[in-house]
């Protein structure tokens, strides 16, 4: 399991993912869940993945192969499509096709495989958009009413996002929010783990603004976690019965 979250704000986008993949208590590995495709100033696309590693890796490999194809067209490459909506449709169709292919191979063992993705980005002269892609290939979009999307083990990190994140939230506060959301998840679920990948995109820049890998023991993240725990304990003790 994993946890990934994306925020769509007036100032830009903030995305965060963990890197833990586990197939049992004794089989834990680290795999990147954040993938960036960028033509600075023209287009930036970020994809976060959760679920079956075989499904997500195969989907990303097919998308990357289509981008690198010398005969790529608007109909085949996410870096050439005219809109972010078309990007979401292309990613969804690829994910759905991969899932069906793998399900057929696993059918004899009465097993299946599934995955979800967050697709976020902007093309020049277009709007920032963010989508949650379901295993079947359909998707929903982040809106002003719900300016964040989550995949994977999301329930532990959702309360703080519900309380503090609005479209008007600054990129600085948004980074704090997603990191504290991740901290809550790390404390409550062993299937989510370090290191973390954090990325920001500023509105209309069509390029990655900041990108950071947060390793276990990172002093800044540790200090934030401890400060949040202290604030929660202090707040709890001040609330009257």
Each residue's pLDDT tens digit, 59-111:
999 999 999 999 999 999 999 999 999 999 999 999 999 999 998 887 766 66
CA distance 104 to 114: 12
pLDDT tens string 8-56: 999 999 999 999 876 455 556 789 999 999 999 999 999 999 999 999 9
Residue 208: phi and psi, rounded to 5, are: -70, 125
According to the 3-state scheme, what is the secondary structure of 174-194?
HHHHHHHHHHHHHHHCCCCCC
CA distances to 56, 117, 132, 185, 192 from 140, rounded to whole Å, are 19, 11, 5, 23, 24
Name the domain count of the chain.
1
For position 151, what pLDDT does the model report?
98
For the domain that residue 15 is a member of, what is the CATH number? Answer: 3.60.20.10
What is the value of pTM for the model shown? 0.95
Whose CA is closest to 84, among 34, 141, 168, 137? 141
**If you count DSSP H runs as helices and E runs as strands, how many of each does the chain have, helices first?**
5, 12
Q: Which of 25-34, 67-76, 113-122, 217-226 has the lowest mean pLDDT?
A: 25-34
DSSP code of residue 145: S
- 């976690």: which residue's tokens? 225
Domain that holds residue 114: 3-238
For position 110, what pLDDT does the model report?
66
């Amino acid at each position: 399991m994993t946890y990934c979250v994306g925020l769509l704000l007036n100032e830009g986008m903030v995305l965060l993912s963990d890197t833990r993949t586990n197939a049992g208590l004794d089989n834990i590995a680290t795999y990147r869940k954040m993938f960036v495709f960028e033509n600075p100033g023209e287009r930036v696309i970020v994809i976060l993945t959760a679920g079956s590693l075989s499904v997500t890796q195969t989907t990303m490999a097919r998308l990357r192969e289509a981008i690198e194809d010398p005969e790529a067209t608007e109909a085949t490459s996410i870096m050439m499509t005219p809109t972010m909506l078309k990007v979401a449709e292309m990613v969804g169709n690829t994910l759905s096709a991969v899932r069906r292919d793998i399900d057929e191979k696993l059918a004899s063992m009465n097993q299946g495989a599934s995955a979800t993705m967050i697709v976020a980005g902007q093309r020049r002269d277009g709007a920032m958009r963010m989508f949650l892609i379901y295993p079947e290939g359909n998707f929903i979009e982040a809106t002003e009413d719900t300016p964040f999307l989550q995949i994977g083990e999301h329930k532990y990190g959702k309360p703080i996002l519900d309380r503090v994140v609005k479209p008007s939230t600054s990129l600085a506060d948004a980074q704090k929010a997603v990191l504290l959301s991740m901290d809550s998840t790390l404390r409550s679920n062993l299937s989510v783990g370090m290191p973390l990948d954090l990325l920001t995109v500023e509105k209309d820049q069509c390029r990655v603004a900041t990108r950071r890998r947060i390793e276990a023991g990172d002093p800044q993240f540790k200090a934030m976690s401890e400060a949040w725990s202290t604030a929660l304990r202090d707040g709890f003790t001040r609330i009257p019965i």
